[in-house]
Structure 1
Amino acid sequence: MNIIFFGSPEFAVPTLELLQASTHRVLAVVTQPNRPSGRKLQITAPPVKQAAEKFKLAVFQPTTTKTPEFFEQLAAFKPDALIVVAYGEILRSNLLTLGRFGAINVHASLLPKYRGAAPMPWSILQGETETGVTTMLMNETMDAGPILLQSTCAIDEHDTSETMSQKLASLGAQLLIRTVDLVEKDQIKPTPQNAADATFAPKLKKSDGEIDWNKSAQWISRQTRAFNPWPGTYSYLNGHLTKFWKVTTSPTEAKAKPGEVIFISKDFFEVACGEATVLRVWELQPENRPRLHSVDFVNGYHVSKGTQFKPHS
């Protein structure tokens, strides 16, 4: 099958790599423009572009896919299908129907659950113990096209969005190759999604990471894993933002105001949360500083029993 590949982040790279190693042919790659990245805001190419250049593939980086000129550029390749993995823009119908097999998407959830831009964080936050990947035929409604194949993956109690991204990227790449093989042989029947079962996973905002200490420790622990690496989970100590990177729940019961430090040991400290639950804190990061083990944070920032973490005022 002759393919034009759409993708941008690291999550999409394993799929491009497996396609290159398969019997299928990648004609060109479409990815997002180079953008500032990292603390120094250096202009950086998307991971997919970097991978495509290693394979010496033609790369397009349009600011928008909606122009007639861009459509004509892709149409000249006469692709059989588009493969879309976390590209970063909703595609119009003229692109979705460009190839005779349409456009096939790899989505990081078991659709119709968690449609949207951030399925991995929201599935962790909601306490799911299983997720997976879905291949589907794309239509103009986001993540609503008929399902081709699905593959499941457990969410372990220590998994973060970062570790799940790595797992699902590999799983999704393998599923995509299976899907394309079967589509080309006309050995797969698309299954419409049940819209009544759909749930949504909207794009993350920085504010999603702020801790509400009235939530349970279980919720805040999942929040810390869900929003790692971005936007991070944070609260404020003496008006200064502090990120929480490694936390667990404690078996003890809180009898203090949510957000108050109630216990300090040489390995961790504990904070009272809602529903009389307790959060055990192991690793933090003061604003614009390196990550610290809890004991170093306690000593360096003069934390004691009764110290209060608060929302942004």
Structure 2
Amino acid sequence: MSRPLRVIFAGTPVFAAESLAALLASRHDVVAVYTQPDRPAGRGRRLTPSPVKALAQEHGLPVFQPSSLKAPEVQAELAGLEADIMVVVAYGLILPRAVLEIPPLGCLNVHASLLPRWRGAAPIQRAIEAGDQESGVTIMQMDAGLDTGDMLLVRRTPIAATTTGGELHDTLATLGGQALVEALDALTGPGFDATPQTEAGVTYAAKLSKAEAELDFRRPAVELAARIRAFNPWPVAWCALGGDRLRLLMARAASPDPGEAPMPPGTLRDHGPDALRIACGEAGDQLLEVTRAQLPGGKPLAVSELLRARAERLAPGTRLGYTDEEATP
């Protein structure tokens, strides 16, 4: 098949909109867009279109927003579009087997991990949280399993010691759009030798929750630093500071100075020039250096700026992770 492909695109968030934008700039023909129903957003809780819907409307594309793809009439409507292939990127709805079998070339998925590692809902953040050295995108032929289909194309990118969840998201969104167009172009020519996923190395990326964003300073410094970066910009790692919450946005594990005695986990040591130095680990003998944070009612700031403005809230000896009553001996 040498002609441009007729493509149905299914996706919802900003990550998916990047793939749709790349597809619209390609030679292929997007015949329709499927996205989640409009959701309440903002202070007024007004119904708001998804980023994918907004982009589709800018380009005058037909938009479909079923709450499920299981109904026969919804499947018949999709089949009537007579597409060659369906592309799915962070859509948020399960595709029944009947839908997977409608397009002659099946359904492709752009997944933000190096499969089979990090199947599931939050592969970007879980890769950083786990200390992975690299991530990437996988173009996968969808089947009935959870991210279990054969792999057509893999593109990699390193994860640096300062990479945040937001930064990796943006990198992979761009990489995913590029890889998607490359895959579709190949399908109009010689195609691919699909590679089945192995069972070795399978991990699952559980959905993020606000509840897991509260830090426990008894955990190792390396683990805490990775979680802080992974959860930036959402759900944002935090700890109690008296009766308030201190939001932590960037951190690194460090070695205590020679001769520094262990302190109770969560205790602020003397400040460094650019960091809050926090005792952590089960024995309080490890060191977490936080370089960017946000106090209630304030803006995210480099710690050097934060200390100039609000040093009294972050005095050495302050116990983080405790209310005022809990921190009192």
Same fold (TM over 0.5): yes
Of 171, 177, 180, the match for 1:176 = 180
What SS class does the counterpart of residue 120 from structure 2 fall into? coil
Distance 1:39 1:76, change over 3 A: same
- Residue 285 of structure 1, CA deviation: 2.1
- Residue 69 of structure 1, CA deviation: 2.1
Which ranges in structure 2 are unaligned for 5 or more consecutive residues?
Answer: none
Aligned length: 313
Which stretch shows the higher mean deviation, 249-258 or 76-85?
249-258
CA contact (8 A) 1:211 1:234 kept: yes
Of 289, 293, 299, the match for 1:280 = 289
- Residue 9 of structure 1, CA deviation: 1.0
- Residue 264 of structure 1, CA deviation: 2.5
Q: Deviations over 1:28-77 (max 9, x none)?
A: 00111222334554432111111111111001122222222221221110
What SS class does the counterpart of residue 51 from structure 1 fall into? helix
- Residue 289 of structure 1, CA deviation: 4.2
CA contact (8 A) 1:211 1:311 kept: no
- Residue 121 of structure 1, CA deviation: 0.4
What SS class does the counterpart of residue 251 from structure 2 fall into? strand
CA contact (8 A) 2:242 2:322 kept: no
Which ranges in structure 1 are unaligned for 5 or more consecutive residues?
Answer: none
CA contact (8 A) 1:110 1:133 kept: yes
Distance 1:66 1:289, change over 3 A: farther
TM-score, scaled to structure 1? 0.93
Q: Please tell me whether residue 228 in structure 1 is matched to residue 232 in structure 2.
A: yes
Residues 232-311 of structure 1 correspond to what in structure 2 (within 5 A)?
A: 232-253=236-257, 255-265=262-272, 267-274=274-281, 276-287=285-296, 289-294=298-303, 296=306, 299=310, 302-310=313-321
Residues 76-155 of structure 1 correspond to what in structure 2 (within 5 A)?
A: 76-155=80-159
Partners of 2:138 and 2:273 lie apart in 1 by: 45
Kindly provide the amino acid, as one letter, of the partner of residue 310 in structure 1: G
User: What's 2:211 paired with?
Assistant: 207
Kindly provide the amino acid, as one letter, of the partner of residue 98 in structure 2: N
User: What's 1:37 paired with?
Assistant: 41
- Residue 180 of structure 1, CA deviation: 1.3
Q: Deviations over 1:134-170 (max 9, x none)?
A: 0111111110011111111111111111111111111
Of 1, 4, 7, the match for 1:3 = 7
Which stretch shows the higher mean deviation, 142-151 or 184-193?
184-193
Kindly provide the amino acid, as one letter, of the partner of residue 137 in structure 1: Q
Distance 1:7 1:203, change over 3 A: same
Kindly provide the amino acid, as one letter, of the partner of residue 153 in structure 1: T
What SS class does the counterpart of residue 263 from structure 2 fall into? coil
Identity of aligned residues (%): 37
- Residue 300 of structure 1, CA deviation: 6.2
CA contact (8 A) 1:133 1:151 kept: yes
Give the CA RMSD over aligned residues.
2.0
CA contact (8 A) 1:212 1:311 kept: no
Of 56, 59, 62, the match for 2:63 = 59
User: What's 2:191 paired with?
Assistant: 187
What SS class does the counterpart of residue 187 from structure 1 fall into? coil
CA contact (8 A) 1:221 1:249 kept: yes
Kindly provide the amino acid, as one letter, of the partner of residue 192 in structure 1: P
Which stretch shows the higher mean deviation, 258-267 or 139-148?
258-267
CA contact (8 A) 1:114 1:122 kept: yes
Partners of 1:11 and 1:93 lie apart in 2 by: 25
- Residue 281 of structure 1, CA deviation: 2.1
What SS class does the counterpart of residue 74 from structure 1 fall into? helix
